[in-house]
């Protein structure tokens, strides 16, 4: 690939065109004089560029590319983009279908131009995600789009910048610190339960027997934003208790999976936002307005935090304080980091909580098993939370230690994360000529990993891979919770990825899920209040139910 790029790249073709024009002037002076020197140069450039297009679009992928023998659909439009806007079923199922069409292939060619390949088996993921992870980065057009929403932080930075930031951020995600956050998360869960109770009391009619239909997605987003507000900024946002909040509304508008936004985001990821912005489309103005508003809110939060540290001797051990006190980052860099942690820290868990509620609505037997388990383990703590008793909060060690060991709570959580990975697709571009296993991968190749496909692979998870079965995550011999689900490799469960670019906040997310799910299942019983076929996962950055998640919820204790 390096030699081909040097010989047939457009800079080389432009230089060759200049040489060709000079030769034409020397060899055919009369002809060139009659048509003009400029036309000779322009003609040579156009001919060379036409050859370059033919070479890269047709000749290279068929005759020269080291990827040419990899089988696959080789479509004009890659499944990586089609999956974002497909109407019939989850987009991730496209990759499951491809894996079944090419059952023995570790790699599958996705496009006709030899630029995109799918890693269909976990065997090669160790090279991609660990051993040669810095041979790859997110494609520039994708990073450029993402950083407008989530900042230039851990998700979008590469190589040395990524290593530096991860090292400086890691203390905030130390196991001890996560444990100490459990009481705060439990308290925020209690606030959500009381808010839902009020909502049900206001909406329930006499014929509904004390129940009401609620849309859970927005409530999940509110409570997780409250949690990351304390953990990320040391700030009580209290979004759950407000009728509206600008930060929550911006994220809701940005990440709402309606058709126009999905098409807009897909085009931005495919060709880049600067290209799409040239078109007269109202989505461009809305997108710029939302991200500008988000930037301004984050800048204000940073200024307030700096004042708190300087004037009030702020001693919070939150992420933003940690980064400010390191003195390694100016305010613009801090703004990017705050954007990353706000988005990743609340939207991912909100999505997971929504889908766990959906799965438990479909499987009331697991809902009851989980309720019984949590009630037996946390009886007095649950009563204190629901009745708002004036007593000290539960010990962090007791609460965290108990929730971490509950088999069904952890089984439901991990099975939800397996079936509905918050980010169902990731993509890497080769920065240099490299290899995945024995396969040579030229510079510029885009490597697609469908987390949805790996997490639901029947080859890995068995014939019931698509079924909701929390028992996968419970040891058959001793009944304890496990973290492998019966899979043989770390690369069989990819929700948090693996290696240096794995999710730094995965234990934080698990802690949130345990607290929120335990509180929800011991406060309410619920069932689906919408057509099951309407609960289709959609989204570009994270997946949400396309039409919301409507549940008929009934408090287990009236008048709480």
Q: Which residues are annotated as a binding site for heme?
A: 503
> Considering only CA atoms, which of 457, 550, 428 is closest in space to residue 129?
428
Terminal Cα-to-Cα distance of the chain (whole angstroms): 67
Return d(Cα 222, Cα 242) in angstroms, integer: 9
Return d(Cα 348, Cα 338) in angstroms, integer: 15
Element housing 554 (H / E) = strand 550-555
CB 556 within 8 A of CB 196: no
Return d(Cα 55, Cα 422) in angstroms, integer: 39
Return d(Cα 539, Cα 361) in angstroms, integer: 22
CA angle 492, 497, 501 (to 5 degrees): 145
CB 549 within 8 A of CB 351: no
Q: Exposure of 460 by Cβ count < 10 A (0-12 exposed, 13-18 middle, 19+ buried)?
A: buried
CB 175 within 8 A of CB 155: no
Instruction: Copy the structure tokens of residue 368.
Output: 């009851």
Return d(Cα 111, Cα 491) in angstroms, integer: 25
Write the CB contacts of 547 (distance below 8 Å, at least 6 apart in sequence). 530, 534, 535, 536
Return d(Cα 286, Cα 146) in angstroms, integer: 16
Return d(Cα 155, Cα 225) in angstroms, integer: 19
Strand, coil or helix: 36:
coil
Return d(Cα 299, Cα 255) in angstroms, integer: 21
112: phi then psi, degrees, rounded to nearest 5: -75, -10
Crossing angle of the two packed helices 506-523 and 396-405, in degrees rounded to 10: 80
Return d(Cα 413, Cα 173) in angstroms, integer: 20
Rounded (to 5) percent helix, strand, coil in the chain = 60, 10, 30
Strand, coil or helix: 103:
coil
> Considering only CA atoms, which of 192, 169, 188 is closest in space to residue 341?
169
439: phi then psi, degrees, rounded to nearest 5: -90, 125
Return d(Cα 46, Cα 40) in angstroms, integer: 10
User: Buried b vs exposed e over 151-183: b needs ≥16 C-beta within 10 Å?
Assistant: bbbbbbbeeeebeebbeebeebbeeebbbebbb
Return d(Cα 101, Cα 215) in angstroms, integer: 38
């Amino acid at each position: 690939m390096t030699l081909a790029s040097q010989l047939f790249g457009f800079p080389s073709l432009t230089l060759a065109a200049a040489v060709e024009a000079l030769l034409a002037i020397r060899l055919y002076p009369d002809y060139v004089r009659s048509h003009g020197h400029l036309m000779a140069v322009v003609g040579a450039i156009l001919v060379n560029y036409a050859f370059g297009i033919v070479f890269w679009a047709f000749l290279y992928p068929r005759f020269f590319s080291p990827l040419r023998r990899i089988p696959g659909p080789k479509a004009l439009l890659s499944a990586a983009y089609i999956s974002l806007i497909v109407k019939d079923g989850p987009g991730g199922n496209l990759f499951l279908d491809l894996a079944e069409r090419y059952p023995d292939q570790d790699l599958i060619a996705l496009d006709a131009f030899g630029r995109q390949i799918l890693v269909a088996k976990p065997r090669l993921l160790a090279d991609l995600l660990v051993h040669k992870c810095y041979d790859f980065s997110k494609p520039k057009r994708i990073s450029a789009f993402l950083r407008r929403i989530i900042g230039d932080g851990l998700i979008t930075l590469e190589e040395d910048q990524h290593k530096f930031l991860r090292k400086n951020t890691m203390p905030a995600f130390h196991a001890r610190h996560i444990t100490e956050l459990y009481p705060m998360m439990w308290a925020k869960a209690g606030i959500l339960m009381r808010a839902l109770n009020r909502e049900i009391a206001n909406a329930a009619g006499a014929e509904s027997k004390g129940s009401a239909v609620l849309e859970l997605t927005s409530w999940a987003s509110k409570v997780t934003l409250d949690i990351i507000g304390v953990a990320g900024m040391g700030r009580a946002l209290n979004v759950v208790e407000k009728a509206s909040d600008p930060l929550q509304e911006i994220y809701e508008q940005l990440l709402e999976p309606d058709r126009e936004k999905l098409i807009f985001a897909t085009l931005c990821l495919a060709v880049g936002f600067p290209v799409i912005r040239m078109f007269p489309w109202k989505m461009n103005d809305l997108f710029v307005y939302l991200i500008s508003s988000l930037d301004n809110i984050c800048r204000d939060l940073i200024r307030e935090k700096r004042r708190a540290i300087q004037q009030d001797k702020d001693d919070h051990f939150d992420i933003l304080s940690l980064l400010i006190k390191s003195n390694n980052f100016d305010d613009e860099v801090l703004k990017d980091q705050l954007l990353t942690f706000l988005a990743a820290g609340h939207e991912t868990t909100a999505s997971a909580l929504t889908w766990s509620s959906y799965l438990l609505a479909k499987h009331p037997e697991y809902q009851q098993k989980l309720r019984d388990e949590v009630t037996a383990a946390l009886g007095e703590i649950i009563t204190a939370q629901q009745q708002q008793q004036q007593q000290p909060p539960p010990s962090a060690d007791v609460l965290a230690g108990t929730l971490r060991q509950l088999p069904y709570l952890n089984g439901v959580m991990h099975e939800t994360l397996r079936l509905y990975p918050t980010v169902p697709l990731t993509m890497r571009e080769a920065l240099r000529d490299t290899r995945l296993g024995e396969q040579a991968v030229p510079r510029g190749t885009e490597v697609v990993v469908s987390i949805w496909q790996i997490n639901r692979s029947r080859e890995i998870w068995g014939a019931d891979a698509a079924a909701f079965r929390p028992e996968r995550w419970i040891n058959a011999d001793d009944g304890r919770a496990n973290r492998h689900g019966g899979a043989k490799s770390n690369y069989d469960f990819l929700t948090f990825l693996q290696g240096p670019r794995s999710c730094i906040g995965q234990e934080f997310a698990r802690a949130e899920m345990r607290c929120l799910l335990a509180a929800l299942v011991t406060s309410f019983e619920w069932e689906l209040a919408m057509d099951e076929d309407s609960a289709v996962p959609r989204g570009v950055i994270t997946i949400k139910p396309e039409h919301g998640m409507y549940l008929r919820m009934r408090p287990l204790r009236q008048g709480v």
